[in-house]
Amino acid sequence: MGRLNRAWRQLPVDGQGLLAQDDPALGPLRNWAVALFWQRVPRWSRPFLVPLTRLAWGLAALLRVRRFARRQKLERSQARQLAEDCLRSGAQPVEAFIWRSVFSSPKCHPLPARAAGTLLSRLGSPEEHRLLADKLATAELLSGAGLATPPLRDAIPRGGSIDPTASTWATEGHLFVKPRHGSASRGTIAIDALPGSVWRIDGDLSLVGPEMLESLIAAAAATDSLLVQARLDPGPELADLATAGPAPVLRLNAARHRGGAPFLHSALLTIDVTGEHRRHFIRGQIRAPVDPTNGEMTSGVWFLRPADRYARLPWNEARVAGRPLLGFHEAVAMVLRAMELVPNLPLVNWDLILTAQGPVILEGNTGGDWILTSLAAVAGLETLPLAPMLREWT
């Protein structure tokens, strides 16, 4: 039963929807990745398993669209279009909804998260993919090369627990807990240690005591080891962009042609929205593409209101468009150096924070969220289309 539940949650398991993708650039890459995916199962079982997973995806997509449409209060025509997009592309409802709302072409999401993971994980070195998936190994690799990473306060083994009275937790300050293996902020916890042995979790106004903190960390550690890091503050010039608490995160998408030197493909600054949960993909953040030539931000995009562009933040009028990012070029140099440490990967999304002491690399992800990777193209700020370059690696 556990395996069936896991397979249901992971649908579409191979990243494909019910219809072949007609995107001329990414469609062939998806098909290539799917062919490699099904090579992992016995040939005799494929005529049964492939149609079964397609039918299961059809049912799962309709159920998920129905639930999403109710939450978002979509009109019936919007829900029908969303269901068609999900069935066709293999995208989750939130992905298909954002893609059609923000991107002009193609209308149907060409590379949803499951498809992107299926494709990108098969391009380049498997060993280097595994290395970057291990956040502790990544930090050790980067720091060994003299690149700044967040200070590590503790490492909790899978199935482990904590002592809330230990100095890591009892000392006033800001902590950030994340799974050793993971991406896209899944499973992360922001913790503020306050006087009186109480803690604030993810900016919530209510406080928790020692027993609740211990229970929370034990639940998080049930499925993976945890890294406990010092939570970084932004440089003072970015303080007005961090009114929700966490520092804005600079995402630098670095790429390379096969056998070539790494280069910056695109850049994005992610700003948490005041009053919203930071991990809510639609509501939680405003994302501002950054000009890779001069490090200046352009107007931000909020997926909650995809037709609008935000030259200033709506809650405090902080400037966004035309704002230079101090330390941007230093951050670019750092990720290009980091790319040299993984020379057999075509594309890595590096997340950094621009602190008063300089840029700090949080992690590098190779699974790729194609919406965020492509968002700079909406502002005309990607250095080149990625699909032809990725084809070189197949």
Rounded CA-CA distance 193/150 in Å is 18
Same domain, 98 and 245: no
Taking only the tens place, the pLDDT of each residue in 100-127 is 999 987 888 999 999 999 999 999 999 9
Considering the domain architecture, whether residues 220 and 355 belong to the same structural domain is answered as: no
- Rounded to 5°, the CA angle 324-327-329 comes to 90
- 305 and 183, same structural domain? no
User: Checking DSSP bridges between strand 347-355 and strand 358-365, what pairing results, if any?
Assistant: antiparallel
Q: CATH number of the domain that 246 lies in?
A: 3.30.470.20
Number of domains in the chain: 3
Are residues 162 and 135 part of one domain?
A: no
Residue 198's domain spans which residues?
Answer: 152-230
Which of 173, 206, 230 marks a domain boundary? 230
pLDDT in tens, 210-262: 999 999 999 999 999 999 999 899 999 999 999 877 899 999 999 999 999 99
Q: Are residues 80 and 190 in the same domain?
A: no
Residues 45 and 165 grouped into a single domain: no
pLDDT at 22: 67
Percent of the chain's residues with pLDDT above 90: 79
* Summary mean pLDDT of the chain: 92
Tell whether 275 and 226 lie within a shared domain: no
Which own/partner contact pairs does 82-90 have at CB distance under 8 Å and 24+ positions apart?
A: 85/109, 86/17, 86/61, 87/17, 87/18, 87/19, 87/57, 87/58, 87/61, 87/62, 88/17, 88/18, 88/19, 89/17, 89/21, 89/115, 90/12, 90/15, 90/16, 90/17, 90/57, 90/114, 90/115
Cis amide linkage into residue 47, ω under 30° from 0: no
* Residue 220 shares a structural domain with residue 237: no
Q: Are strands 189-194 and 173-179 parallel, antiparallel or unpaired?
A: antiparallel
- Residues 137 and 173 occupy one common structural domain: no
Task: Name the domain boundary from 209, 230, 251.
Answer: 230
pLDDT in tens, the chain (394 residues): 667 788 788 889 999 998 766 678 888 999 999 999 999 999 999 999 999 999 999 999 999 999 999 999 999 999 999 999 999 999 999 999 999 999 987 888 999 999 999 999 999 999 999 999 999 999 999 999 999 999 999 999 999 999 999 989 988 888 999 999 977 677 888 898 999 889 998 877 789 899 999 999 999 999 999 999 998 999 999 999 998 778 999 999 999 999 999 999 999 999 999 988 888 899 999 999 999 999 999 999 999 999 999 999 999 999 999 999 999 999 999 999 999 999 999 999 999 999 999 999 999 999 878 999 999 988 889 888 999 999 999 9
Choose one of 188, 212, 230: the last residue of a domain.
230
Helix (H, G, I), strand (E, B) or coil at 234: coil
Q: Is 185 left (phi over 0), alpha (psi -120 to 50) or beta?
A: left
CA dist 31 and 29 (Å) reads: 5
Same domain, 168 and 280: no
In the chain, beta strands by DSSP E: 152-156, 173-179, 189-194, 198-201, 207-208, 226-230, 249-255, 263-272, 285-290, 301-302, 347-355, 358-365
pTM for the structure as a whole: 0.93
Q: Are residues 356 and 238 in the same domain?
A: yes
Residues 353 and 291 in one domain: yes
> What would the two tokens of residue 47 be?
């005529």
SS3 state at 265: strand
